[in-house]
Amino acid sequence: MKGLVVVSAAVVDLSNKVVVITGGARGLGAATAQAVVDGGGKAVITDMLEEEGAATAEKLGDAARFIRHDVTSEGDWQAALHFAVAEFGKIDGLVNNAGISAGQFLEHESVEHFRQVVEVNLVGVFIGMKTAIPLMRAGGDGGGGGGSIVNISSAAGLTGLAMTAGYGASKWGVRGLSKIGAVELAEAKIRVNSVHPGMTYTPMTAPVGIQTGEGNYLGAPMGRVGVPEE
């Protein structure tokens, strides 16, 4: 049917896998947590949005947990990942999804805002990877070590987009960090990949005025924005 997006409930078998998802309270993160649970896995949702995060975990049932988490804090990362191990015994996957957007033209962007965006979007990913690696080596993938780290970058990490100084720079950085991690961690059977979504309708992007439905976003080959479930 024209305009209808059909998404499979369980695309991948994640039976007995434990996946930590940052920024999991809503949007892409919540859809990722849903996909993990639909695939038979356990989802540990982290976010600064406590009420929304707890509600998302409750909706997913006993296969999900929530913990408040500031991705720029090393202490919070230690607490979140050890919480995941305490609740479910191990970590098989980490989805670094938490991020912030908004920006100005380069000459008008404040140094303070640029640093804030890079701190959340890039440094947060670095701290997460650094903290998760020893735990994944020890107990991921059924106790033999290994697993998967998925870093959510953006189409802005593949090309130059105006008014995205901090955001674009951070997403290019996530792409590079993922490639470095993939090379370094192959011997540990830990896969590292970056994902580069185009414009997707989420609570973060809604304020810019995008609309869903075919023909409402001609900048994409399909003529529409994506939805988190895709």
**pLDDT of the residue at 135:** 96
pLDDT at position 221 over 80: no
Q: What is the pLDDT of residue 4?
A: 39
Per-residue pLDDT at 214: 53
Which residue did the predictor score with more confidence, 72 or 142? 72
- Higher-confidence residue of 2 and 78: namely 78
End-to-end CA distance of the chain: 17
Average the pLDDT over 35-59 and give the result: 98
**What backbone phi and psi angles, to 5 degrees, belong to 184?**
-70, -30
- E strands along the chain, which residues? 18-22, 42-47, 64-68, 93-96, 147-152, 190-195
Mean pLDDT of the chain: 86
H helices within 14-123, ranges in order? 27-38, 50-60, 74-88, 111-118
Query: Which positions are annotated as active-site residues?
Result: 167
pLDDT tens across 150-187, in order?
999 986 777 887 778 888 999 999 999 999 999 999 99
In this prediction, residue 208 has a pLDDT band, given cuts at 50, 70 and 90, of low
Which pLDDT score, from 0 to 100, does residue 103 have?
A: 77
- Indicate the pTM of the whole model: 0.83
Residue 34 has pLDDT above 80, yes or no: yes
65 pLDDT exceeds 50? yes
Closest by CA to 13, choosing from 40, 34, 35, 33, is: 40
Angle value at C-alpha 137, between 77 and 147, nearest 5 degrees: 85
Q: What is the mean pLDDT of residues 74-91?
A: 98
pLDDT of residue 224: 57
- 154, two tokens: 């953006």
Task: Tell me how far apart the 2 most distant CA atoms of the chain are, in Å.
Answer: 51
> How big is the chain by its Cα radius of gyration, in Å?
17
Residue 192 dihedral angles phi and psi, to the nearest 5°? -130, 125
Q: Do the beta carbons of residue 62 and residue 26 sit within 8 Å?
A: no
Residues near 33 by beta carbon (within 8 Å), at least 6 away in sequence: 19, 21, 24, 43, 45, 56, 57, 60, 64
What per-residue confidence (pLDDT) applies to 218?
Answer: 46
- Which domains occur in the chain, in start order? 18-208 (3.40.50.720)
